[in-house]
Amino acid sequence: MEGKECRDCGQVKPAAEFWKRKASEDGLALYCKECFGLRNAASGRKRAAAQGRVMRPYRRWSAVPEGMKYCPRCQETKAVSEFGRNRAGRSGLGSYCKPCWTIVVAENKRRNHGSERNYLLKLRYGVTADEVDAQLRSQSGVCVICLRAAAKHVDHDHMTGLFRALLCFRCNGALGQYDDDPWRMRESADYLEGRSSHSRAMMLELGVVVIDGHARRLVRRLPRQGTARDDHLRERYGLGEAEVENLKRVQRGYCAICRDRAAEHVDHDHVTGAVRGVLCGGCNTGMGQLDDDPVSLRRAADYVQGRLIMRLPAADGGVRFSFTWPDVDPATVPVDGWEPYRAADGAHRRLLLEWEGRMEEQPGLRFAVSLSTRCRREVLMPGAQAVFPRLVAAAVSR
Residues 68 and 41 in one domain: no
Report yes or no on 374 lying in a domain: yes
Report yes or no on 13 lying in a domain: yes
| Amino acid of residue 91 | S
Report yes or no on 137 lying in a domain: no
Q: Does position 365 have pLDDT exceeding 50, yes or no?
A: no
The DSSP secondary-structure symbol of 12 reads E
Stretch 221-229: mean pLDDT: 68
Q: Does position 252 have pLDDT exceeding 90, yes or no?
A: yes
Report yes or no on 131 lying in a domain: no
Stretch 99-106: mean pLDDT: 94
The DSSP secondary-structure symbol of 150 reads B
Domain of 368? 309-398
Residues 193 and 281 in one domain: yes
Residues 215 and 250 in one domain: yes
Confidence class for position 310, pLDDT limits 50, 70, 90: very high
Give the span between the Cα atoms of 363 and 349, in whole angstroms. 19
Q: Which CATH number fits the domain that encloses residue 92? A: 3.30.60
Instruction: Write down the pLDDT at residue 232.
Output: 85
Residues 228 and 286 in one domain: yes
Stretch 70-95: mean pLDDT: 90
Report yes or no on 259 lying in a domain: yes
Which three-class secondary structure state does DSSP give residue 298?
A: helix
Residues 285 and 315 in one domain: no
Q: For residue range 297-308, list pLDDT tens digits in order.
A: 999 999 999 999
Q: Does position 361 have pLDDT exceeding 80, yes or no?
A: no
Q: Does position 370 have pLDDT exceeding 70, yes or no?
A: no
Mean pLDDT of the residues in the chain: 85
Q: For residue range 50-72, list pLDDT tens digits in order.
A: 999 988 777 766 567 888 998 98
Confidence class for position 362, pLDDT limits 50, 70, 90: low
Contact 330, 138 (CB under 8 A): yes
Stretch 245-266: mean pLDDT: 94
Which H or E run contains 322? strand 319-322
Instruction: Write down the pLDDT at residue 262.
Output: 95
Q: Does position 218 have pLDDT exceeding 70, yes or no?
A: no
- Label the pairing between strands 319-322 and 310-313: antiparallel
Instruction: Write down the pLDDT at residue 57.
Output: 77
Give the span between the Cα atoms of 233 and 264, in whole angstroms. 13
pTM of the predicted protein model: 0.73
Q: For residue range 146-163, list pLDDT tens digits in order.
A: 999 999 999 999 999 999
Report yes or no on 234 lying in a domain: yes
Instruction: Write down the pLDDT at residue 181.
Output: 96
Percent of the chain surpassing pLDDT 90: 58
Instruction: Write down the pLDDT at residue 288.
Output: 95
Report yes or no on 169 lying in a domain: no
Residues 84 and 21 in one domain: no
14-18, 165-169, 314-318, 392-396 — most confident range:
165-169
Percent of the chain surpassing pLDDT 70: 85
Which three-class secondary structure state does DSSP give residue 147?
A: coil
Domain count, the chain: 4
The CB density around residue 253, as the number of other CB atoms within 10 Å, is 12
Residues 91 and 13 in one domain: no
The DSSP secondary-structure symbol of 240 reads -
Write down which residue in 261, 295, 329 finishes a domain. Answer: 295
CA distances (Å), origin 117, targets 121, 122, 132, 396: 6, 9, 11, 44
Write down which residue in 268, 295, 322 finishes a domain. Answer: 295
Report yes or no on 218 lying in a domain: yes
Write down which residue in 265, 295, 325 finishes a domain. Answer: 295
